[in-house]
Amino acid sequence: MPKETPGRVRRLRAAMAREGFDAIVAFKPQNSFYMSGFNPIIYSHPVVAILTPEGSDALLVHALRDDHAREASFIADIRLYGAWSTKKTMGPSWRAALKTILAERGIEKGRIGLDLDFISVARFREIEAELAGAEFADASDAIMQCRSVKDEDEIENARAAGEIADIGMDAAILALRKGGNEREISLASMAAMSHCWADRYPDKEVADFGNLEHGIQNGMFAWVLSGDRMFLNCDNPTTKTPQKGETAAILLWSVLDGIHTENERTVMIGDVSQEKRRALEAILEIRSEVFDMIRPGTLYSDLFNAAKTGLETRGYGSYIPGRIGHSMGLGAHEWPSIDAATNIPLAPGMILAIEPNIRIPGEVATQISDTVLVTDEGCEFLTKSEGGLLQA
């Protein structure tokens, strides 16, 4: 049964026509999934999505991925390279197969948009050698701009991923209150998220986009940094048990059909210093000021500057972070960033992780983040965990 081409692909096709590309040929796992609906999980054999302005799209995969691609992709024209059992393929080389696919469409010497923010120099040289006469342009910006505004099905996945992340946060806080160490808290949270997916979402996947040397079967991740370990910002959880007087950060990502949410909370363990409490209270106020500004037309940099001003007016002007959040989608850290230099207006359908925080080296660290959807009038919280001053 042919599957419907999603709106995002039609938008990307329009962008391609505006840019004067005869095709977009994408290799980045997030991008080939975006353009085809196929995530093979393992990318050690290239997966190549080919989009043309008039819709003669094709998906080129290794013979090993044939059945899976046919089952998952909304592109009907699946092509094979390589060798496996009885599969009929276009030959051993994906480069030669790509050339044939483009030649069939009369564009083997056309203007080809590639995701050059991903394609390695070594691979690009192979493509150039195979497609002598073609003109290559960078399609990365066009793809990332398209990805930055989500379709309704992506938003539904984000809402569900947010609910799963909230369940993960509840499980983490429970494990923390029971006296678990960083690893025990993290594993309890990941198990809760995974079981929620397994029980409630029979038609969804939690696979993620790996690198070219392996793959990710399950992108539900939680980690915990307690006490001074908060200054590491990101680290694998240890056997350290959060202690009284410390703050602990619980950080988690959930994913559903490729769409991510982020949920981070800082918990005070028993009585913490006035300095720590005051920083947490300041961050809660600053977050509220930033959330109030989220609506179509506000610039990413406006959000950063509001947080910066909020830190300055509360005496934290020496501790300004480089950014106060980032976009989310098929990437958990997706373009664009919320920083001083990003003068891009918010638009409905964008999904952001909002995380202004304070780091006073060796003294105070806060880590709170929520994922929100930009709506016509403001924002919708996709993560809704208990906020405020969390106490364990």
Q: Which of residues 89-118 bind a second copy (CB under 8 A)?
A: 114, 116-118
Pure H helices in 178-299: 182-200, 274-293
> Does 124 sit near a second copy (CB under 8 A)?
yes
H or E segment at 221? strand 221-226
Least Cβ distance, residue 109 to a second copy (angstroms): 20
Tell me the number of residues near a second copy by CB under 8 A.
Answer: 85
Q: Using the rule CB under 8 A, which residue among 1, 54, 122, 376 binds a second copy?
A: 122
CA 165 to chain centre: 14
Scan residues 287-326 and list those touching a second copy (CB under 8 A).
318-322, 326
Site string for a second copy, 34-73 (x = CB under 8 A): ------xxx-x-----------------xxxx-xx--x--
Paired tokens of 312? 């300055």
Using CB under 8 A as the binding rule, the residues of this chain from 332 to 371 that contact a second copy are 332-334, 358-361
Our CB check for a second copy shows the closer of 108 and 208 to be 208
**Shorter beta-carbon distance to a second copy: residue 137 or 284:** 137
* Between 215 and 348, CB nearer to a second copy: 215
Name which of residues 231 to 260 contact a second copy (CB under 8 A): 231-239, 253, 260
Cβ closest to a second copy, residue 239 vs residue 388: 239
Q: What angle, 0 to 180 degrees and rounded to 10, lies between the N-to-C axes of helices 140-148 and 29-36?
A: 60
Asked if 223 touches a second copy (CB under 8 A), the answer is yes
- Shortest approach of a second copy to residue 82 CB, angstroms? 5
Helix (H) or strand (E) holding 359: strand 359-360
3-class secondary structure, 26:
strand
**Smaller CB separation from a second copy, 237 or 349:** 237
Count CA atoms within 13 Å of residue 383 on its CB side.
Answer: 31
Question: What Cα–Cα distance (Å) separates residue 176 from each residue in 161, 185, 226, 241, 272?
Answer: 22, 6, 11, 9, 16
211 binds a second copy (CB under 8 A): yes
* Residue range at the interface with a second copy (CB under 8 A); choices 105-113, 163-171, 192-200, 371-379: 192-200
Residue with tokens 């909370």: 265
Task: Collapse the DSSP code of 83 into the 3-class scheme (helix H, G, I; strand E, B; otherwise coil) and give the result.
Answer: coil
Q: Can you tell me which of 5, 30, 301, 342 binds a second copy, judged by CB under 8 A?
A: 30
Q: Which of 56, 100, 145, 218 binds a second copy (CB under 8 A)?
A: 218
Length of the chain: 392
Q: Strand 370-374's sheet: what is its strand order?
A: 334-337, 325-327, 351-354, 370-374, 379-381
Torsion region of 237: left, alpha or beta (phi above 0 gives left; psi -120 to 50 gives alpha): beta
Residue among 177, 359, 362 at smallest CA distance from 267: 177
Q: With CB under 8 A as the contact rule, which of the stretches 52-60, 164-172, 201-209, 266-274 interacts with a second copy?
A: 201-209
Q: Which residues contact 236 (CB under 8 A, 6 or more apart)?
A: 223
* Candidate list 137, 149, 174, 187; residue touching a second copy; CB under 8 A: 187
Q: How far is CA 117 from CA 27, 140, 144, in A?
A: 10, 6, 10
Q: Does 190 bind a second copy (CB under 8 A)?
A: yes
Nearer to a second copy, 64 or 379 (CB): 64
